[in-house]
């Protein structure tokens, strides 16, 4: 595996900093609108439901199911060449939000829609710049 610091990193800004900082601690957080109550993902400056800017971070238990997925065999950055294939999955979290995330799986060919997944252990945050998931045992 390439050194984790060879990978491109997301740039933190005032909107996504809470999300990125939480993941560095191995936690998954989503925004919740304090006006209408919906969960918001990806991080945004305003609620897509009511346009309120009154958003707060809420921690997710990090459990969900795969809606759809793809296996990437040609990454757009050489830092990922040693990790192929990479599974990128649309994941429906139990609390209702849907996100796109990497699924780290020892058997990428075994991934199926409907598969139960959970947030990777906190130690994974050192090697992956964005939240990742693993199959539930």
Nearer to Zn ion, 97 or 103 (CB): 97
Cβ proximity to Zn ion, 35 vs 58, nearer residue: 35
Q: Is 56 in the site for Zn ion (CB under 5 A)?
A: no
Of 36, 1, 41, 2, the C-alpha closest to 19 is: 41
Least distance between Zn ion and beta carbon 54 (Å): 8
Which among 39, 99, 35 has a CA at the least distance from the CA of 69?
99
DSSP letter (8 states) at residue 130: S
CA neighbor of 12 nearest in space, from 129, 133, 134, 131: 129
| Stretch 25-54 residues interacting with Zn ion (CB under 5 A) | 33, 35-36, 47, 49-50, 52
Binding residues (CB under 5 A) for Zn ion: these are 33, 35-36, 47, 49-50, 52
């Amino acid at each position: 595996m390439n050194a984790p610091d060879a990978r491109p990193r997301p740039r933190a800004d005032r909107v996504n900093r809470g999300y990125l900082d939480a993941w560095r601690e191995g936690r998954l957080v989503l925004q919740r609108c304090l006006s209408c109550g919906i969960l918001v993902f990806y991080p945004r400056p305003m609620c897509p439901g009511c346009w309120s800017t009154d958003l707060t971070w809420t921690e997710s238990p990090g459990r969900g199911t795969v809606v759809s997925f793809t296996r990437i065999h040609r990454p757009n950055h050489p830092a990922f060449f040693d990790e192929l294939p990479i599974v990128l999955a649309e994941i429906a979290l139990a609390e209702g939000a849907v996100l796109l995330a990497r699924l780290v799986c020892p058997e990428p060919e075994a991934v199926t829609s409907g598969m139960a997944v959970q947030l990777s252990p906190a130690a994974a945050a050192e090697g992956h710049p964005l939240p990742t998931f693993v199959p539930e045992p």
